[in-house]
Amino acid sequence: MSDTAIGLLRLELRIEHAHSLKDRRQVVRSLKERLRHRFNVSVAEVGGQDTWQRASVSIVAVSGDRAYVEEALQAVEQDAAAQLGPMLVGAQIEFW
C-alpha cells in the first residue's frame, strides 16, 4: 500500500449573496456536481452546513502516482476558483 497516493483538497467558501441555507446549498451542490463529473473525484461538504454564508468542501483523489494526484487536485482547485471567483477564500492540499 506504500505506493498509493491519497490527496485531499479542502476548499473554504464565503457565499456573501446567500440569504438562506437554500441559497448556500445551491452553490455547494452545483460545485460538488461539477467537480465530480469533470474530474472523477470524491467530493463532500464537511463543514458549515448550518451557516448561511460559509461552507467547507473536501475533495479526495487516489492513485498509484502522487504526481497524478497532485496535478488532478491542482486542476480541481483551478476549476473551483474559476467557478466560484471571490467566494473561494481558502484552499489547502494534503497528501498521505
State pLDDT tens for residues 1-20: 568 999 999 999 999 999 99
pTM for this predicted structure: 0.93
For the CA atoms of the chain, what is the radius of gyration? 14
Count other Cβ atoms within 10 Å, centred on residue 23: 13
pLDDT recorded at residue 52: 87
Could you report the per-residue pLDDT of 54-83, keeping only the tens digit for each?
Answer: 999 999 999 999 999 999 999 999 999 999
- The mean per-residue pLDDT over the stretch 38-46 comes to 97
pLDDT at 12: 97
Whole-number pLDDT of residue 2: 65
* CATH code of the domain in which 58 resides: 3.30.70.1120
Closest CA to 57 of 4, 5, 14, 6: 14
Query: Tell me, what's the pLDDT at 11?
Result: 98
Domain interval for residue 50: 5-95
Nearest to 60 by CA among 42, 74, 75, 81: 42
Is 24:47 a contact under the CB 8 Å cutoff? no
Of 13, 12, 11, which Cα lies nearest the Cα of 87?
13
Q: How many domains does the chain have?
A: 1
Name residue 84's amino acid.
Answer: L
